[in-house]
Amino acid sequence: MQKKYTKEHIDYLREIAPGRYNDEVTRLFNERFDMNATEKAIQTLRTRHGIKLGVPRARKQYTEEQISYLKELSAQGLFNAEITRRFNERFGTNRTETAIQLQRVQYGFQTTARNCFKKGHVPWNKGLKGVNFGGQKTQFKPGHKPHNWVPVGSERVNADGYMEVKIQDGKLQKNWKGKHVLIWEQHNSQPVPPGHAVIFGDGNRRNFDPENLILVSRAQLARMNQSGLIKNDAALTKTGVIIADLLNKIGERKKQRAEVKP
């Protein structure tokens, strides 16, 4: 059951929110009113009343010292796995390689490390020179990379105008992923569910603030596009998601009634 918040609650949120992160705002709020509201509940309450924090969301999980150290490690030309290991060792954290890579991409910290064989490496096809496995003779020479190859972590803008990040090399799986999707998944610690999409609340495809990234189902998105419910303000667009659900529900009811009629 949803809690009822009074004007005193809302006024206090407006007072303490500026310059603080949501976890601290939640703690102060609960201490003041002897409540146990969750961070998600407080975030939803702030959004509903247009109360903004005014702090960069990406800095919550990474301090200035940590960001500086990531920049230092990247400049040393280390692989992401080694950067992650050293980072966790120094700060006593357990960040994943994906999380560290995404953070470096967000700040533009690239590394010159490249995946190549070390001295003494024994290739899988040693001794099989001249054996044809059905491939063409015009194959790349050892160490050759296509002219359009770029390292993992590189960014590009696709044909639809969305920023993408290269997440891996290889041909069997998709190598590029939407930057907004990566940020949403990191912020929410879960992959985007099947049948869903992440949209920009204010319509700006370069605003990667997690609070501007909204998860919607394909059915919600179709209705929102049809009814013009994606606005230039994240709070209004989130309200549009609720309206889309209502419109879809009304549509379902009308369809059911039409099927019942003789």
| pLDDT > 70 fraction of the chain, expressed in percent and rounded | 79
Are both 68 and 47 inside the same structural domain?
no
What is the pLDDT at residue 56? 54
Flag whether pLDDT at 167 surpasses 90: no
Are both 44 and 71 inside the same structural domain?
no
Are both 71 and 184 inside the same structural domain?
yes
pLDDT class of 19 with cuts at 50, 70, 90:
confident
Q: Is the pTM of this model over 0.85?
A: no
Residue 217 lies in a domain: yes
Are both 68 and 184 inside the same structural domain?
yes
Residue 2 lies in a domain: no
Residue 176 lies in a domain: yes
Give yes or no for a contact between 104 and 110, defined as CB atoms under 8 angstroms apart. yes
What is the pLDDT at residue 254? 83
Total number of domains constituting the chain? 3
Task: Give the lowest-confidence range in 114-123, 126-135, 146-155, 165-174.
Answer: 126-135
Calculate mean pLDDT across residues 210-226: 91
What is the pLDDT at residue 129? 46
Residue 138 lies in a domain: no
Residue 81 lies in a domain: yes
What is the pLDDT at residue 146? 65
Which letter, b or e, does each residue of 72-88 get, where b requires 16 or more Cβ atoms within 10 Å of its Cβ?
ebbeeebebeebbbbbe
Are both 69 and 107 inside the same structural domain?
yes
Could you give the CA distance from residue 169 to residue 81 in angstroms, rounded to a whole number? Answer: 15
pLDDT class of 61 with cuts at 50, 70, 90:
low
Calculate mean pLDDT across residues 211-219: 92
Flag whether pLDDT at 102 surpasses 90: no
Are both 102 and 169 inside the same structural domain?
yes
Domain limits at 108? 64-112+151-191
Give yes or no for a contact between 163 and 178, defined as CB atoms under 8 angstroms apart. yes
Are both 84 and 49 inside the same structural domain?
no
What is the pLDDT at residue 3? 63
Task: Give the lowest-confidence range in 29-33, 102-106, 234-238.
Answer: 102-106
Could you give the CA distance from residue 230 to residue 203 in angstroms, rounded to a whole number? Answer: 7
